[in-house]
Structure 1
Amino acid sequence: MAAPPSITASGEAAQTGTGTEYRPALRLLATLFFMWGFITVINNTLLPHLRSVFDLTYTQTTLVESVWFIAYFVASIPAAKLIERIGYQKAMVVGLVIMAVGALGMIPAARIPSYEVTLVALFVIASGITLLQVAANPYVAVVGSPETASARLNLVQAFNSLGTTLAPLFGGYLILSRSRSGTSETGAAGLTAAERLADAQSVQLPYLIVAVVLLALAVVIARFRLPAMGVATSRIAREERRKHSLWKHRNLVFGVPAIFIYLIAEIGVSNLFINFVSAPDIGGLTHAQASNYLFLLWGGMMVGRFAGAVIMQRVAPERVLAFASIAAAAVMLVATYTSGSVAMWAIISVGLFHSIMFPTIFTLGIRGLGPLTEEGSGLLIMAIAGGALVVVQGRLADAFGLQASFLLTVACELYVLFYALWGARPTGALPPVEADPRP
Structure 2
Amino acid sequence: MQYRQHAAAGAAAVTGAARVAIVPLILIVSLFFLWGVANNLNDILIKQFKKAFELSDLQAGLVQSAFYLGYFVFALPAGMFMRRFGYKGAVVTGLALYAAGAFLFLPAAQMHTYGLFLLALFVLASGLAFLETSANPLVTVLGPPQGAARRLNLAQAFNPLGAITGVLIGRYFIFSGVEHTPEQLAAMAPAAREAYLASESAMVQGPYLVIGIIVALWALLVLFTRFPRIDEGADSGSGFSHLGKLLRNGRFVFSVIAQFFYVGAQVGIWSYLIRYAQDVVPGTPERTAADFLTASLVLFMIGRFVGTALMRRVAPTLLLAVFAAVNVVLAAVAIAAPGTVGLYALVVVSFFMSVMFPTIFAMGLDRLEDNERKLGSSLLVMAIVGGAVLTAAMGLTSDLFGIHWAMAVPLACFVVILGFAWRYRKVEAVV
Describe the shift of the 1:362–1:198 C-alpha distance in structure 2 as closer, same or farther (beyond 3 A).
same
8 A Cα contact 1:10 1:233, kept in partner: no
For 1:184 and 1:85, the matched residues in 2 are separated by 50
For 2:372 and 2:338, the matched residues in 1 are separated by 48
Matches within 5 A, 1:176-325: 176=175, 179=176, 182-184=177-179, 186=181, 189-190=184-185, 192-226=193-227, 231-234=232-235, 245-279=245-279, 281-282=280-281, 284-325=283-324
Cα deviation for residue 230 of structure 1 reads 6.6
In the other structure, the counterpart of 1:419 is: 420
Cα deviation for residue 316 of structure 1 reads 2.6
Q: What runs of 5+ residues in structure 2 fail to find an aligned partner? A: 1-7
In the TM superposition, what whole-angstrom CA distance separates every residue of 1:109-154 from its partner, at most 9, and x where no partner exists?
A: 00111011111111100111111122234556899999x96x9766
For 1:55 and 1:88, the matched residues in 2 are separated by 42
- Any idea what SS the aligned residue of 1:360 has? helix
Work out whether 1:114 is the aligned partner of 2:113. yes
For 1:315 and 1:25, the matched residues in 2 are separated by 35
TM-score normalised to the size of structure 2?
0.86
Cα deviation for residue 423 of structure 1 reads 3.8
In the other structure, the counterpart of 1:433 is: none
My pick for the range that moved more, 252-261 or 100-109, is 252-261
Corresponding letter in the other structure for 2:405: A
For 1:371 and 1:225, the matched residues in 2 are separated by 30
Corresponding letter in the other structure for 1:380: L
- Any idea what SS the aligned residue of 1:184 has? coil
In the other structure, the counterpart of 2:383 is: 383
In the other structure, the counterpart of 1:167 is: 166
In the TM superposition, what whole-angstrom CA distance separates every residue of 1:188-238 from its partner, at most 9, and x where no partner exists?
A: 942611111111111110001110111122223224444566711526x68
Work out whether 1:344 is the aligned partner of 2:339. no
Corresponding letter in the other structure for 1:399: L
Corresponding letter in the other structure for 2:219: A
In the other structure, the counterpart of 2:93 is: 94
For 1:228 and 1:63, the matched residues in 2 are separated by 42
In the other structure, the counterpart of 1:410 is: 411
8 A Cα contact 2:11 2:232, kept in partner: no
Work out whether 1:328 is the aligned partner of 2:327. yes
TM-score normalised to the size of structure 1?
0.84
For 2:312 and 2:247, the matched residues in 1 are separated by 29
For 1:105 and 1:316, the matched residues in 2 are separated by 46
For 1:245 and 1:251, the matched residues in 2 are separated by 12
In the TM superposition, what whole-angstrom CA distance separates every residue of 1:337-381 from its partner, at most 9, and x where no partner exists?
A: 113321111111111111121122122222232221111111111
Corresponding letter in the other structure for 2:220: V
Cα deviation for residue 296 of structure 1 reads 0.7
In the other structure, the counterpart of 1:5 is: none
Corresponding letter in the other structure for 1:332: A
Corresponding letter in the other structure for 2:59: Q
Identity %: 33
8 A Cα contact 2:12 2:233, kept in partner: no
In the other structure, the counterpart of 1:46 is: 45
In the other structure, the counterpart of 2:374 is: 374
Cα deviation for residue 421 of structure 1 reads 2.1
8 A Cα contact 1:154 1:356, kept in partner: no
Corresponding letter in the other structure for 2:92: V
Q: What runs of 5+ residues in structure 1 fail to find an aligned partner? A: 1-7, 428-439
Cα deviation for residue 250 of structure 1 reads 3.8
In the other structure, the counterpart of 1:399 is: 400
Describe the shift of the 1:319–1:381 C-alpha distance in structure 2 as closer, same or farther (beyond 3 A).
same
8 A Cα contact 2:112 2:198, kept in partner: yes
Alpha-carbon RMSD: 3.2
For 2:410 and 2:93, the matched residues in 1 are separated by 35
- Any idea what SS the aligned residue of 2:61 has? helix
In the TM superposition, what whole-angstrom CA distance separates every residue of 1:226-279 from its partner, at most 9, and x where no partner exists?
A: 4566711526x689x769932354442211111111111011101111111012
Cα deviation for residue 297 of structure 1 reads 0.9
For 1:139 and 1:341, the matched residues in 2 are separated by 44
Name the count of aligned residue pairs.
410
Matches within 5 A, 1:44-83: 44-83=43-82
- Any idea what SS the aligned residue of 2:11 has? coil
In the other structure, the counterpart of 1:133 is: 132
